[in-house]
Structure 1
Amino acid sequence: MEEEAGAGGLKATAERRFPAAGGRGAEGPSPCPARREEPAEGTGQTCQRTCSQDRDCSGRRQCLCDGACGLSCVTPGRTCPWPVQIDNAETRLAQASRGFGALMEVTCQSGFRMSKGQGAALSQCQGDRKWSLTAPCERDLIPASFCSPPPETDNGFHSGASYRTGGEVRYKCKRGYRLEGPETIRCQENQEWSGPAPTCRPVFCPPPGDIAEGYLVAVEKAQYRAGELVYYLCKRSHLLDGTNRVTCRGNGTWSPRPFCRASCVVPAQRSRVLYQGLKLWIQEIPQGQVQHGEIVTFYCRSQNQTCSYPAPSRCFDGLLPLPACYDEPTWLQYKLFPKRVVSEIRPC
């Protein structure tokens, strides 16, 4: 694990590590690694919108290779910050540009080495306008011993660049998978890792079940993969309270299910009410019912009996309570003296 000598060694390293950023030669686009968003996020990189060609991008963005993020919509004219300060290291631009795809050399100061024993590394200007991370320069311990690259795990990845004795790497699973086994392994003095890589098992949810006065719209299964969606609908005369879309979450449980709320019968017969901005007799409201969550404003008589004031009430799952101040007119009052009904007298 010795440092590659001179500019030629670093140039060769660059050609292996960083495909030409969006370069298009006569024989087609340069090779670009497949998009690996979780490992990119683990190193602090923010992936831009994925693409396969320039017309997938908006504005002046182009479809360019952006490291672990793969082909992404990038504004090539943007630059990364300069100068850059890195602990125990010297930095310099490998060329005059500091725009997207430009390279920066990171060289450890005397007495310091990187985790794999090398004294220098290359960093690239990414689409998120940040320099890609390099291993930190640590004090060079003698004798130095290192482990080989840590074991990989299907449907997961590891983070942590220190392969030196005592260094640890941490494993994480892709979305929809759960880690089984130790989250970290350590490089031991015998230059062997402390254990095998953990396993990433797929996460499943049990059937979500029906809801009262509603039904499930989904293919019936014994179990559902994390990320799968199911939908709910309500029976007639019921209103969905909440989202109709429920998701199997990464911990094996479903996101909150909605409720189906019943409509309310307006509990008055011989008065006008304020509903949806209109003053209506109860008979003028279709079927004399209002939907869950809607407000009906009744009219109450003042203490001196000379004027009326509004008293709102909200329908909740089949119940529309009458305000305590409301008095239902008698049949005779309604028929013989309709203009004296409380809803018809002057407002206070």
Structure 2
Amino acid sequence: MRLILSFQRCEGGGGVGLWVSIVEFPLAETQAEESQSPEAAADVQSCPLPDEVISTFSIQGDATVGTSIRYSCMSGAQIIGSNENFCQDNQTWQYPHPICKKVYCLPPREVEHGYVVAVQKTEYEVGFDIHYLCKKSFLLDGPKKVTCLSNGSWSESPPHCRGRCLIPAERSRVVIGGEKRWPFDVTDAMVPHGKNVTFFCKHPRHQCNFAAIQTCFDGKLQPPACYLEPTWLQYKLFPHRLVSEIEECVPADVE
């Protein structure tokens, strides 16, 4: 705030006096007047940004001298060059402006015993999805869908189409899905990939059986080493004596 003193002489009543008045001016008004003087500061200087740069990139920061900006490409493109630049005192940029290069994914590998559900292309855009299906009797092991990522790779490796397994038993019951069944009662006598099959083995010293579990993996299912396939005569003449039909061993016997 600025104070101005005003002095006035006054006469009357047989004497002479001096009248003093104080006038206040807000500082903001004073500064405004000063700023409007011919010696006002020069305009802020900046570095030029071409239209093609503005339209290509998302830019953070401003182009004022002494400051930096950061570039980022739009989705589906990769920046080539420095992603940061500095506006120098001579109103030029420290580095050349970068460029945005379109990113693509190469076609993923084919899946044996399966299908790739997508338009056939030599390259796929970022965000493009590819779906997979398996042929009949094969089970999909892995992702049903993969997506082209911004780094030019697929979101996951392609899946596998795994084959079913033939149950390596004919004249002995096995356990599949918690149910004790004859193999010929199972469709095609086969189980899908990843399915557990429980076989029955005879205890070497006791008249009882114990379970041995095997897992189907891509068309391969081996019986456990302890399993013995009954003969045709055993199956026909003494079905109640088959290992799968005799009493289960108590835990102490198995140990």
TM-score, structure 1 normalization: 0.54
Q: Which moved more, 1:284-293 or 1:215-224?
A: 215-224
2:79 corresponds in structure 1 to 179
1:121-140 per-position Cα deviation (integer Å, ceiling 9, x unaligned): xxxxxxxxxxxxxxxxxxxx
- Against the structure 1 CA distance between its residues 193 and 163, is the aligned structure 2 distance closer, same or farther, given a 3 Å change threshold? same
Matching residue's letter, 1:294: K
Percent of residue pairs bearing the same amino acid type: 45
* Inter-CA distance 333–254: structure 2 relative to 1 (3 Å threshold): same
**324, 334, 339: which one aligns with 2:225:** 324
The structure in which a higher percent of residues are strand is: 2
Residue 233 in 1 paired to residue 136 in 2?
no
- Greater relative contact order, per chain length (Cα 8 Å cut-off, separation 6+): 2
**Structure 1 gap segments, 5+ residues each:** 1-144
Contact between 1:153 and 1:198, CA under 8 Å: does it hold in 2? no
Residues 191/295 of structure 1: CA separation in 2 closer, same or farther (3 Å cut): same
Aligned partners of 1:294, 1:169: CA distance in 2, in Å? 58
Q: 1:262 to 1:203 in 2, by over 3 A?
A: same
1:102-133 CA-to-partner distances (Å, cap 9, x unmatched) read xxxxxxxxxxxxxxxxxxxxxxxxxxxxxxxx
Name which one, 1 or 2, has greater alpha-carbon Rg. 2
Q: Is the 8 A contact 2:165 2:193 kept in 1?
A: yes
Give yes or no for the alignment of 1:201 onto 2:101: yes
State the partner residue of 1:215. 115
1:191, distance to aligned residue in structure 2 (A) = 2.7
- For 1:275 and 1:155, the matched residues in 2 are separated by 61
CA distance, structure 1, for counterparts of residue 55 and residue 213 of structure 2: 60
Aligned counterparts of 1:337 and 1:180: Cα–Cα separation in 2 = 79
Q: Secondary structure at the match of 1:332?
A: helix
Number of the residue aligned with 2:20: none
Q: Is the alpha carbon distance of 1:158 and 1:276 closer, same or farther for their aligned partners in structure 2, counting shifts above 3 Å?
A: same
How far residue 205 of structure 1 moved from its aligned partner, in angstroms, is 1.6
State the Cα deviation string for residues 198-238 of structure 1 (Å, max 9, x = none).
Answer: 22222112222421111211111222111101111111111
Does 1:292 find its partner at 2:202? no
Bigger mean CA offset, 175-184 vs 195-204: 195-204
Q: 1:257 aligns with which of 127, 134, 158?
A: 158
Find the counterpart in structure 2 of residue 43 from structure 1. none
In the superposition, relative to structure 1, how do residues 301 and 150 fare at CA in structure 2: closer, same or farther (>3 Å)?
Answer: farther
Q: For residue 211 of structure 2, give the secondary structure of its aligned residue in structure 1.
A: strand
CA distance in 1, matches of 2:56, 2:160: 36
Task: Find out whether 1:341 has 2:248 as its counterpart.
Answer: no
Give the equivalent residue in structure 1 for 2:46: 147
TM-score by length of 2: 0.73
Aligned to 1:283: 184
Closer, same or farther in 2 for the Cα pair 1:272/1:149, shift >3 Å? farther
Instruction: Answer whether contact 1:154 1:200 (CA < 8 A) is retained.
Output: no
Q: Which moved more, 1:167-176 or 1:329-338?
A: 167-176
User: Structure 1 residues 162 and 326 mapped into 2: Cα distance closer, same or farther (>3 Å)?
Assistant: farther
RMSD of the TM alignment (CA)?
2.3
Cα pair distance change 1:315/1:153, threshold 3 Å = farther
- Between the two proteins, the alignment pairs up a number of residues equal to 205
Cα deviations by residue, 1:293-347 (Å, 9 ceiling, x for unpaired): 1111111122323211111111110011211221111222111111111111111
Structure 2 stretches of 5 or more lacking a match?
1-43, 250-255
Choose 180-189 or 280-289, whichever is displaced more. Answer: 180-189
SS of the residue corresponding to residue 179 of structure 1 reads strand
Indicate the residue corresponding to 2:59 in structure 1: 158
Deviation track 1:254-299 (CA, whole Å, cap 9, x = no partner) reads 2311111101111111110110121000111110001011111111
Distance in 2, Cα, partners of 1:243 & 1:225: 19
